[in-house]
Structure 1
Amino acid sequence: MGNSHARAAGPVVAGQSEAKAPRTERGRRTLRKLLDAAAEEFGEKGFHEASVSSITRRAGVALGSFYTYFDSKDALFRALVADMSEKVRTSARAALREGMDALEIERAALAAFLAFAAEHKEIYRIIDEAEFVDPASYRQHYETIAARIAERLRAGAARGELRDGLGELEAWALMGMNVFVGLRYVVWGDGSAGHEEIAAAVNRLLAEGIARR
């Protein structure tokens, strides 16, 4: 995906691959406003009921300016999925500290994801809708996350902290667990369970399994 307009110079804005890259700081701020407004609009109404005019009103941007950045509502949606994927990545990375072992890394990454999801519950609706609106974006979102988890698992095994042979299958299983734990306890939860507490419980499952010892 992506279009030729996205090759302009300047700092990269998450989600920019589906946008016409702005050349100025003001343009990058406007793009950010459109993406944030789109997250609210798509999260509340879904893709089909959302409108470009409503998104630009939320963003405080002139309707005509929208097409300076995006060719269509579809392009904006694809950019938003990429933007959310990048935010998930950066939130997890920011939670990691030098010297963490493999299990600590997974606990911290999950806690960071849960905190992000609590602030951006719309991510679940938007990513789920991407399966039908833009299947390529949907698949890329999950494949990218699974690849990062697999890389962490292999690194942990190489350091002798995890068992050998971990890779893609375990990464997808772990990602699936994290996604549905977030759905149950963040999106559907009442907030009584803390993110660190939930992440620690999942971490115990990783460390101890479910078999009686």
Structure 2
Amino acid sequence: MANGDYEKTHKKILDCGKKIFKDQGFEKSNLRAICKAAGVTTGAFYGHFEDKEALFSELVEPIVSQIQRSYTMYEDRSFDVYKKEKHIKKKLFTRS
């Protein structure tokens, strides 16, 4: 199998899996339907993914990573604001 074919098939499985997960939910989705939609055999599917969970993980990982980055950024900003406010309050209530 040429590398271009592998990538093309991988993307097709991802696209079809995404649509089926979206339409039917994770629990009701099955590999047979995903493979049929992607035009691949279950054997070919297993050449790309360990199981349905691995396919789902690859689809949601970028979103989860973005959420984690955003959370960390806002958490850091919150602590920065807290430290600044604490410093300002100290100055306001300290006698000169």
1:61 Cα offset (Å) = 1.2
What secondary structure does 1:61 align onto? coil
1:168 Cα offset (Å) = 1.6
Q: Which amino acid letter does the alignment assign opposite residue 143 of structure 1?
A: Q
Q: Which amino acid letter does the alignment assign opposite residue 142 of structure 1?
A: I
Residue 74 of structure 2: which of 161, 168, 183 is its match? 168
The 4+ residue runs of structure 1 with deviation greater than 2 A are none
How many residue pairs get aligned? The number is 78
Structure with more contact order per residue of length (Cα contacts < 8 Å, sep ≥ 6):
2
Indicate yes or no: 2:2 matched with 1:55.
Answer: no
1:45 Cα offset (Å) = 0.6
Larger radius of gyration: 2
Alpha-carbon separation, structure 1, partners of 2:66 and 2:35? 26
Contact (CA 8 Å) 1:81, 1:141: kept in 2 or not? no
**Root-mean-square deviation (Å):** 2.7
Gaps of 5+ in 1: 1-21, 86-137, 151-166, 172-213
Alpha-carbon separation, structure 2, partners of 1:29 and 1:35? 10
Q: Which amino acid letter does the alignment assign opposite residue 58 of structure 2?
A: A
Gaps of 5+ in 2: 78-96
Alpha-carbon separation, structure 2, partners of 1:168 and 1:23? 44
**Greater per-residue helix proportion:** 2
Give % identity. Answer: 27
1:82 Cα offset (Å) = 2.5
Residue 67 of structure 1: which of 39, 46, 59 is its match? 46
What secondary structure does 1:47 align onto? helix
